[in-house]
Structure 1
C-alpha cells in the first residue's frame, strides 16, 4: 500500500469523516481506489472505478466473474479538510457488454431456460413459425427493452441497447430455426 493511500485511508478512518452518499465505502476505496493524494491540512483525493450493472451481482457465468452488461464509471473524489466537504467529479462513464455472457444470462439462466426452450419448440412446430415467434417472444423483447434502457439511473446508449436486443432476438430466431 502506498504512503499516500495509507494516509488517505487513515485520515478518513481516524477522523470519522462522512463519505459521499453515492455508494462509496472505505472498503471500495481500499480495494479499488487509485491516484491517492493528500496535502496535510488542505485536501485529500482519490479516484475510483466502479461498474454498475443491472444484474444482482457480477456473474460467475462460465467460471468468470464478470457482469454481462455494465457501466465503467471513473470518479474523482476530493475532500476539503478545512470544512469536510466533498467535490465528486465523474470523469467518464462508458457502457459495454459481453455478447456471450448476455446470451447466457438472458436465455440460458436456470429460471428462464426451460420456459424459453418450450417457446422455441412451439415456434418450430407451428403452422406459421414467424407469427408463433412474435406471439412467443414479443413480451420477452419488451422486457429486454425495459431492462436495458438504464442501469441504476444511467441511460444505456440507444445503439448499444438496440444491439443487445438484436443479439438476443437473432439468437432466439437461430434456435427456433428461423435463421
Structure 2
C-alpha cells in the first residue's frame, strides 16, 4: 500500500491539473454556443454598419400619425382592429415597400399587449416629397386579432419605420432597425469576448 500511495497521489494531481477552467478542449456544446454567439454578434454588427451607412438616405422619412381603431375589415366587412398610418417621404428615395415596428398599448398600461413588425407595399410608390396613407389590419385568426382589447378600450399605437425598399429592391435601414435592445445585446456580446 505504501508503494501505491505515491503513484495514486501523482495520478490524482495530474488528473486534476487538466480540469482547470479554460483548459483542455471545449465540448461540442460549448463550441456550438461560442459559434452561435459569434454569428449573432456578426449579424448585429452588420445591422449596425448598415444603419450608419443608410442614415443620410433615410433621413426625412416619417410616420406622422398612427391611429388605432376598430373599423370594417376590407376583406370580411366585420369590425376588426386596425391602425391607419400617415406617411411622409422627405427622402430622395422612391419608396415601394415599407417595414415598420408597431406596438399597441392599452391606455394606462406600461407595456404593450402586442408588438409586431410589418412589411408591406406602399400603394403605388412614394416619390420624394410624397405623402401617403396605409392601413394595417390583422388576419381574423392571428394573435393580434385574438388579443385585441374590445373596441371601447383606448389603445395607443406606436409605429416606427424600420426599413425602406426602392422599386429595384434596394433596402435601406432606419435607426429603428438597431434599437436599444439590439444595442444592449451587441454590447453584451462584445464584453463577453
Judge same fold: TM > 0.5, yes or no. no
Task: Name the larger-Rg structure.
Answer: 2
Higher strand share: 2
TM (norm. structure 2) is: 0.26
Q: Which has the higher helix share?
A: 1
Larger relative contact order (Cα-Cα within 8 Å, sequence gap ≥ 6): 2
TM-score (norm 1): 0.27
